[in-house]
Each structure stands twice: as C-alpha cells, then as structure tokens.
Amino acid sequence: MTDRREVVRARGHENVTAEHASTFEVTSDDWLTPAGDCILAVEADRVPADFDEAFVEACRDREATITAEVAVETDDGDVFTQTVSGRGHPELTFEGDRSHVGRTSEYVDDRTVLVGAGGAAADFDRELVAALAEGAAVTLTLTVE
C-alpha cells in the first residue's frame, strides 16, 4: 500500500496545556478554555470530513499504521516536531466537522483519526507545548500506511 497523507494547518493558543493522559486534539474552533487540556491547536483549516475517501478507507484497516506528525514553528523561526503513531480501525468514519482526535484507547467516534496511539497530549515535549501556548503555527500531517 502506498502512503496516503492529509495535512492540516492550525495555530497554538494561550490556554494550551497539553496535560491529557489519553488523547490529543487539533480543533477548528477558534477558542480554547483551560479545561481543554487535550487540545494542542485551534483554527484548523481542515477537519476529518474534508479528507480524501481513499485516505479514509485506508485508515479503516486494523493493520494500518497511522502517524500524526505535529510540527510547530514559532515567530522566531524555531521548529519543534513530534510524531505519534497509532492504528487504524474499521469503525473510523472521519465525519467530524470540528476536531481531529488521536486516542491511546480503542474508543472511536466521528472525531477519531487514530486509535492505540503511542502517546497523548501529556507526552508532548514541553518546549513544543510552550511554543503552542505562545500561539505558534502548527502543521498536523496524518499519514497512513
């Protein structure tokens, strides 16, 4: 199977804490409350419902590896990158119209983009999280193979 990729651009927010132990999220919402401790970025320019059908179909294979690369670039030109890999699932719908959620569990809803993730928001590098809290630019690249 060839790699399939979807790219989402977003930005950090002053309320990013990335303390959630089982999920990480990028949302199209333009706001974030301190309670949203799984959210890494806001103002996503695309949502799961925008993804190509071939990408979605490839993600529905239990054997698929789905990788989320989060690249953060500050106004000063510093770049931080972190990658989290998980798996596909037959029940992934990619019908979410607000958020992309990676999960360490097997739970699936319309926002889920991968399950069995090797990390969650709390596992992200703290320098990267600090850049997010300063509103840095974010590129989320999802790849399925």
- What DSSP line would sit under the chain, residue for residue? ---EEEEEEEE--TT-----SSEEEEES-S---TT-TTEEEB--S--GGGS-HHHHHHHT-TT-EEEEEEEEE-TTS-EEEEEEEEE--TT-----SSEEEEESSS---TTEEEBS-S--GGGS-HHHHHHHHTT-EEEEEEEE-
Q: What is the pLDDT of residue 1?
A: 45
Residue 61 has φ and ψ, to the nearest 5°, of -90, 125
Total structural domains in the chain?
Answer: 1
* Domain extent at residue 51: 4-144
Amino acid at 133: A
Q: Place 2 in a pLDDT band, splitting at 50, 70 and 90.
A: low
pTM of the predicted protein model:
0.96
Residue 39 has pLDDT above 80, yes or no: yes
Contact between 113 and 58 under an 8 Å Cβ cutoff? The reply is no
Reported as half-sphere exposure (CB side, CA atoms, 13 A), residue 127 has a value of 8
Tell me: the pLDDT tens digits for 93-126?
Answer: 999 999 999 999 999 999 999 999 999 999 999 9
CATH number at residue 113: 2.60.120.630
Model confidence at 66: pLDDT above 60: yes
